[in-house]
A = this chain, B = another copy of it.
Amino acid sequence: MNSLMSSIGNSTNIFWHDCAVGKTDRQKLLDQKGCLVWITGLSGSGKSTLACSLDRELYSRGKLSYILDGDNLRHGLNKNLGFSAEDRAENIRRVGEVGKLFADAGLICIASLISPYRKDRDACRAMLPDQRFIEVFMNMPLEVCEERDAKGLYKLARAGKIKGFTGIDDPYEPPLDSEIELKMVNGSCPTPSEMAGQVASYLGKNGLLRHG
């Protein structure tokens, strides 16, 4: 075990502890590589659906994945955050930091949250070097998302009952260089299993579904 003194941010007299069992060992145990699949897109674009479908697909291949759902985390880790610009950024930062821990633990972590601003997503990307951050852009037209409106939120936003709703009165900044972009083909949306297959295939091609 190594201890290294440092002073970062608000923290002073904080040591860094290194341990004998490392990321490589855990990856060997799991026969996969830890990474963070970051699913971004409008409300109703199918992020949670893809997350679940991908989770199932990976499980069927004997791989260990875990979903960090932006909504679910607001019940726990992020329950002291609201929807101000500052709180939204902190919300995303925390998900990125936790995703980084899961990736370090060797898991294929699947984060699913609107994450509308490029700056916030890129800050998370910067936390995971070596192609371990895989951005998946759910590029579905607003009309399609609004038409679905499974949660009834667009209706509320259009009625002015929710303010700062992404796509309505708050911007969504599309990724400029996402690893994967999912969109409609010939006017129809890909099925959940088609989307999951595409992401799993990307992970496989990039060597993330084996440890060596």
Are A94 and B72 interface neighbours, CB within 8 A? no
What 0/1 pattern do residues 94 to 135 of A give for CB contact below 8 A with B?
100110111011110000100000000000000100000000
CB of A158 within 8 A of chain B?
A: no
Asked, given contacts A49-B1, A80-B10, whether A59 binds B94 with beta carbons under 8 Å apart, the answer is no
A73 CB to nearest B CB, Å? 8
Are A8 and B74 interface neighbours, CB within 8 A? yes
Instruction: Provide the residues of chain B in CB contact with A5, threshold 8 Å.
Output: 151
Near B by CB (< 8 A), chain A positions 125-158 give 127, 150-151, 153, 156
For the complex formed by this chain, how many copies does it contain in all?
A: 2
In the assembled complex, the Cα of A12 lies from the Cα of B91 at a distance in Å of: 15
In the assembled complex, the Cα of A151 lies from the Cα of B13 at a distance in Å of: 8
Are B106 and A105 interface neighbours, CB within 8 A? no
Near B by CB (< 8 A), chain A positions 1-60 give 1, 3, 5-6, 8-11, 13-17, 19-21, 25-26, 29-30, 48-49, 51-52, 55-56, 59
A80 CB to nearest B CB, Å? 6
Instruction: Provide the residues of chain B in CB contact with A8, threshold 8 Å.
Output: 74-75, 79
Asked, given contacts A59-B21, A79-B9, whether A74 binds B1 with beta carbons under 8 Å apart, the answer is no
**Size class of the contact patch on chain A:** 35 or more
Are B156 and A75 interface neighbours, CB within 8 A? no
In the assembled complex, the Cα of A87 lies from the Cα of B81 at a distance in Å of: 15
In the assembled complex, the Cα of A78 lies from the Cα of B25 at a distance in Å of: 26
Partner of A11, one of B48, B52, B59, B75: B75
Are A11 and B49 interface neighbours, CB within 8 A? no
What 0/1 pattern do residues 72 to 92 of A give for CB contact below 8 A with B?
101111111110000100100
CB of A195 within 8 A of chain B?
A: no
CB of A209 within 8 A of chain B?
A: no
Q: List 17 A-B contacts (CB under 8 A).
A: A1-B49, A1-B52, A11-B78, A11-B82, A13-B151, A15-B71, A15-B151, A16-B72, A17-B48, A19-B51, A19-B52, A21-B55, A21-B65, A26-B59, A77-B101, A94-B94, A102-B105
